[in-house]
């Protein structure tokens, strides 16, 4: 449940924006998620205005109804859904939105409900079996946009998505021809992997699209370049997103596709990473290890299981003058796996009772939370300050960042 800072007992003047340090002064016992609607809105407007095609939000990154509403109000009208539960969520939250069911493997019952009950007309697939499933589940509908997913390289991305889904070259021709015969509009889609650090990832994938179109000799109406658009984290500072857009646009313009074909993308992380951060309390210090009240079974799943580093800052006034040193975190559960190796750079004098803000948790942080061992908190406060790092704020406008956060 979202709360205004006043609901937590904070005395904040109406003219002063709430910040992490203000929340920390109240001494919360449980972790507190800070949400920044203005940051999500800014990211959405950036994609709507600058991507040379249609941008649809990948709901899996953060399924918060509040966030969905913010994105809708900022111009995002299409939503990439991966399950019938996500279809229902978007349909109930945004009745006028368009859902695109882009998971390549779906239950027949999910397809049927999506089509007949929720008006979904866009589906992806990567096999003849899935094509047959869609045709049967929709009773041979003739108003479908069907997107064939190709397997492409994830070499330029931090998290691979190259092994689970996607038709390989020997399967693509037959699948495209068969899909063209039953689809009202034929699409080709792919996913270069999460956190793509170079626009070359999309250029290479588009060459795969070109080869598939030429080999099959089909007319293509939609090219969907998927997700993978990056955000900025310590040690992972990507080039400007405009560079990705320009590369994709050039590649799309050179494809042998229908004169009226559409270009789509599916940003997830890039639209919501800056939306939220989290305040945690240090419960114990043991050398360079900090025991905090959230962790691997909470919003820090990625930090624990794939070694993701997030920006951090100590919330203390006055500021610490101690030099930074490297810390690792332990979460609150009694599981040894509840460990975040980092390293996370914080002042060397951090101690039990201190509060730390962990940034860039809008993507996958809230989505991966559990209540394992009885730990967890849904306490959320809306704040007005800027995220700890941003791809959308100009250097002249961005507030001073902690020393361990790279300013772009």
pTM for the model stands at 0.89
174-213 pLDDT, tens per residue?
Answer: 999 999 999 999 999 999 989 999 999 999 999 999 999 9
Pairing type for strands 54-58 and 262-265 reads parallel
Angle subtended at Cα 227 by Cα 96 and Cα 81, rounded to the nearest 5 degrees: 35
CATH assignment, 102-267: 3.20.20.10
Distance CA 393, CA 406 (A): 13
Other CB atoms within a 10 A radius of the CB of residue 101 amount to 26
Q: Which tens digit of pLDDT belongs to each residue from 216-263?
A: 999 999 999 999 999 999 999 999 999 999 999 999 999 999 889 999
- What 3-state DSSP class applies to 341? strand
Q: CA-CA distance, 39 to 215, in Å (whole number)?
A: 43
Q: Which residues pair with 330 in a beta bridge?
A: 291, 339
The predicted pLDDT at position 164 comes to 85
Q: What are the residues facing 326 on neighbouring strands? A: 345
Token code pair at residue 372? 């394992």
CA atoms within 13 A on the CB side of 158: 19
Asked if domains 2-36+276-382 and 102-267 share a fold, the reply is no
pLDDT surpasses 90 at 143: yes
Class of domain 2-36+276-382: mainly beta
18 pLDDT tier (thresholds 50, 70, 90): low
For the chain, which residues make up each domain, given as ranges?
2-36+276-382, 102-267
């Amino acid at each position: 449940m979202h709360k205004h800072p006043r609901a937590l007992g904070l005395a904040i003047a109406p003219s002063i924006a709430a910040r992490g340090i203000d929340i920390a002064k109240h001494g919360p016992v449980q972790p507190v998620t800070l949400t920044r609607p203005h940051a999500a809105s800014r990211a959405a407007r950036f994609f709507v205005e600058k991507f040379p095609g249609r941008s649809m939000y990948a709901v899996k990154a953060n399924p918060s109804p509040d966030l969905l509403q913010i994105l809708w109000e900022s111009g995002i009208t299409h939503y990439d859904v991966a399950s019938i539960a996500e279809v229902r969520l978007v349909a109930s939250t945004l009745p006028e939105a368009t859902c695109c069911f882009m998971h390549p493997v779906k239950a027949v019952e999910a397809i049927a409900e999506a089509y007949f009950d929720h008006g979904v007309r866009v589906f992806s697939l990567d096999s003849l079996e899935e094509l047959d499933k869609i045709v049967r589940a929709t009773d041979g509908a003739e108003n479908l946009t069907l997107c064939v997913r190709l397997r492409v390289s994830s070499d330029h991305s931090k998290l691979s998505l190259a092994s689970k889904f996607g038709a390989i070259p020997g399967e693509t021709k037959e699948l495209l021809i068969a899909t063209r015969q039953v689809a009202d509009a034929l699409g080709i889609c792919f996913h270069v992997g999460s956190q793509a650090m170079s626009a070359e990832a999309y250029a290479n994938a588009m060459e795969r699209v070109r080869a598939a179109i030429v080999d099959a000799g089909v007319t293509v109406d939609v090219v969907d370049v998927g997700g993978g658009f990056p955000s900025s984290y310590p040690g992972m500072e990507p080039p400007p997103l405009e560079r990705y857009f320009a590369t994709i646009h050039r590649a799309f313009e050179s494809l042998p596709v229908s004169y009226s074909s559409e270009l789509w993308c599916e940003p997830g992380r890039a639209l919501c990473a800056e939306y939220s951060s989290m305040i945690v309390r240090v419960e114990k210090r043991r050398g360079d290890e900090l025991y905090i009240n959230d962790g691997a079974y909470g919003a820090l799943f990625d930090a624990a299981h794939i070694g993701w580093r997030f920006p951090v800052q100590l919330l203390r006034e006055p500021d610490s003058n101690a030099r930074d040193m490297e810390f690792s975190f332990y979460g609150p559960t009694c599981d040894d796996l509840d460990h975040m190796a980092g390293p996370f750079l914080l002042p060397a004098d951090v101690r039990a009772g201190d509060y730390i803000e962990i940034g860039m948790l809008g993507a996958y942080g809230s989505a991966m939370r559990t209540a394992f061992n009885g730990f967890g908190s849904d306490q959320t406060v809306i704040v007005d300050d800027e995220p700890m790092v941003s791809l959308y704020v100009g250097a002249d406008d961005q507030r001073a960042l902690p020393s361990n956060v790279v300013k772009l």
